[in-house]
Amino acid sequence: MRALVPLLAVLLTAAAQAPSRQVAITFDDLPIAGVLRRDDAASRELTTKLLRAIGEHKVPVVGFVNEDKLLARDGSQNTERVALLRRWLDGGLELGNHGYSHRDFNETPLDVFEADVLKGESVIRPLMKEHGQTPRFFRHPFLHTGRGGITWLHRWALTRKMPKAFFAGEPETPQFVAEQARPD
C-alpha cells in the first residue's frame, strides 16, 4: 500500500497539470463589419452588443482592422469610426492589421500589397500605444497568402516589417511557419 501512495501522488499531479487549451475569437473588417447597414449609428449599436457579449463571457478577442473603413465620404478620418476601435481597446481587447484596403494578395503585386499592409497601422498603432499595446497580428484578406507566399512571409518576418504573429485558417499555413521562423 505504501508503494501506491507515491504513484497516486504522481498521477494526481499529472492530472492537475493537464495541458491548457486556449481559443481566441477574431473579427475581421473592423471598424464596420458584416452585412448590416454601414452607418455610424448601426455600427455603434453592433459594437455595443458585441463588446457586451465578449465582456460577459471574458472571451479573448482580436479585431482585425481595415483602416480605409475609417474614412468619411469626403476622404477625411471619421472620428466616430475611430472611436469604435477605441472602444475595443477600452474593453481590454486587441486590434490587428487586416491591410489598409483589404487587398487580395493573390491578385496584388508584392510592393503594392506590402505598402497597403504597412499603411494599415497608421491609426491603430497610436491607438494601441495609448493602451500600452503594439500591433502583433496580421490576417491576410480572404486568407489569401499569395502564390508561393512563404518567401515573402519569411522576408517580412525576418526584417521585422510585419507583426510577429499571423492568423489564418489552419496552423499549417505559411503564416504560422513564418511566426516560428522570426527571431524575437
Every domain of the chain and the residues it spans: 24-146
- pLDDT confidence of 175, banded at 50, 70, 90? very low
pLDDT single digits (tens) 60-113 = 889 999 999 999 889 999 999 999 999 999 999 999 999 999 998 888 887 888
Q: Give the pLDDT score at 17.
A: 60
Q: What is the DSSP letter of 64?
A: E
Q: Looking up cell 475611430, which residue turns up?
A: 82
Confidence of residue 153 (pLDDT cuts 50, 70, 90): low
Q: For residue 113, with 0-12 CB atoms within 10 Å meaning exposed, 13-18 middle and 19 or more buried, which class applies?
A: buried
Full-model pTM? 0.75
Note the CATH architecture for domain 24-146.
Answer: Alpha-Beta Barrel (3.20)
Paired residues of 113 in beta bridges = none
